[in-house]
Amino acid sequence: MMQVFYGPAYVGAGHVFDTTRKSQWVAESLTADPIAGVQVCAPEPVTETMLAQVHDARYIEAMRTGVPRDLAESQGFRWDSGIWDAAIASTGGVLAAVRAALTDGVAGSLSSGLHHALPKEGRGFCTFNGLALGALHALDRGARRVLILDVDAHCGGGTYVCIRGNSAITHFDLAVHPYDRYLARTPHRLVLVDRADRYLGELRRLLASVEHDPFDCCVYNAGMDPFEGCREGGLPGITADILAERERLVFQWCTERHVPIAFVLAGGYTGSTCTLEQLIALHRSTITAAVSAGRRWLLHRG
């Protein structure tokens, strides 16, 4: 069974927004319409010691206490005590998924709101940078080289700031919207796509550029906001079928090279052109592709 991490604390924040609620929507869909081979598990929350690997102590304290208020609300949400509980639970889920992937080959967490967070503050609906923390956690657990693959619609400038200078981490960012853009340098690459017909080709080129690099883990930020119907970042012409093919490509690339992969949900937003049902289906396509990849891992080990 592939482990997917989620607990009720993920949605404990008082602020109501897709990022703070959709993990529950996806989890409920897995109960109502199970995907064979998925086991939903509650993770342990991340500790303050672990958060301090990336984040400043003053910022961590602000998120825990709400003081100072401007820092505690720097990600864009009104602060309440539930934000802290949600952030440490969701971030703990990322780390749990990394540990499970290193053991089982494939795992995930229904976490989102990660890649814009900076060491000293939140940004763009992101509180703690679970991608950077996940990559560092993989290194702590014995990985020698880690790939962060971010396909959220928006650039992950927060992740770049958090892990730049760490030669053990490669950061690839395939975006369609310039928010949080940064100047990437090797081994980090940012590709900003402006046409749907180039999207999958650019992904293939990114992956081909590290075809023979010996990664020990991939932390995958599987954003669905490139979808043409998403109000935040959607690119005309990027359909659900294109995104499903993207998921197939990513998980196939990792399993063929025996690279353990831990995925998170990342962006994806409802609106007049993206219904709740569509958004859930988009995120379920990641889980479906991951399950197929997990079966291939089992066959390889068998």
Report the CATH number at residue 174. Answer: 3.40.800.20
Give the model's pLDDT for residue 119. Answer: 98
- 37, with CB counted inside 10 A (0-12, 13-18, 19+), is middle
Q: Report the pLDDT averaged over residues 14-25.
A: 92
Share of the chain above pLDDT 70, in %: 98
Domain count, the chain: 1
Q: Is the peptide bond before 45 cis (omega within 30 degrees of 0)?
A: no
With a CB cutoff of 8 Å and minimum separation 6, the contacts of 137 are: 50, 95, 98, 99
Q: What number of other Cβ atoms are within 10 A of residue 231's Cβ?
A: 13
- Residue 294 pLDDT class (50, 70, 90 cuts): confident
Q: Which domain holds residue 19?
A: 2-301
Give the model's pLDDT for residue 300. Answer: 67
Q: pLDDT tens for residues 155-212?
A: 999 999 999 989 999 999 999 999 999 988 778 899 999 999 999 999 999 999 998 8
Read off the DSSP letter of residue 169: E
- Average pLDDT along the chain: 95
Give the model's pLDDT for residue 287. Answer: 98
Taking Cα atoms as reference points, which of 75, 82, 84, 4 lies closest to residue 43?
4
CB 43 within 8 A of CB 93: yes
| Long-range contact set of residues 184-188: C-beta below 8 Å, sequence gap at least 24 | 184/160, 188/160, 188/164
Instruction: Please check the confidence at residue 301 and state whether its pLDDT lies above 70.
Output: no
